Structure 1
């Protein structure tokens, strides 16, 4: 009689442990810690850090940047990684359970039928980025051996003058490249017009 009770108790314990173990697996996939899901303990980061790196490297996806920042916690380390490799690896699927991508369904829409295409952004050029609109002229760019460009290569004594000199050299290079491009376009149009007439 005592052996039957022991067998029943042992069987009940085994069934209880089995049910507890299998039900625990279902709940822990949802409630696992970020460290268990990602395989490392994520650092505290802000959206500003992600935006900073994305501003410097707009071709790198934000999810890749956020995932690497979660590992490093440092903007400089992540930036150096991009400069060394040229890319950041894509995050694993477990990352998207913690940081889901925004879907179009979550975005507020006025009416489901009236979709207004977004206004195209004006394409940013080097002229607009460096605010050289006032310096655009139809005159020929200075020759390569001119004294103005030679003076720009003289080492300045303080950082402010060196920075101003570098800015001026960049501006001259951009304007000279623009002039070359316009001259090349003018030459192509003139040869295209001269071709059919002959």
Structure 2
């Protein structure tokens, strides 16, 4: 046998043994207690993991970051959760999941004041002025005569352009009114 053939066969055997060792399952040499301990460590909740973590002191910057995401939370709620988790990310994640954070002991929900209730109310409706009254087009509505359209050429004078745009706006409003009136008439007749 040639020496290169022999070296090739030895390399194949060593490679095969190495691959078998690499792929083979781990021998069950661990005791039940060690196995349970490993499984327990793998199945821990994030609260357990964060309890073992070295805690950072809660800073005002951390509270401010959470407050930008959840402005309705009190500082006490944010501080308590940050002290418990030690992480802004976990606090924000808990807020996103539940929509609120627990209150610290001794602190209760703040009473709603009239100011906060007014803040959540929709703004009061303004007087219902339609576009015809707003732009003073009542005289044109009464006429109901079309002038043949508005001149659409562009003027160099700023005042002429402004008057042209206001005429086009008035024509659009009147046209929309006519279309609505005809649509309502069709619905009533049907």
TM-score band, normalised by the shorter chain? Answer: 0.3 to 0.5
TM-score using structure 2 length = 0.37
Per the normalisation by structure 1, the TM-score is 0.36
- Name which one, 1 or 2, has greater alpha-carbon Rg: 2
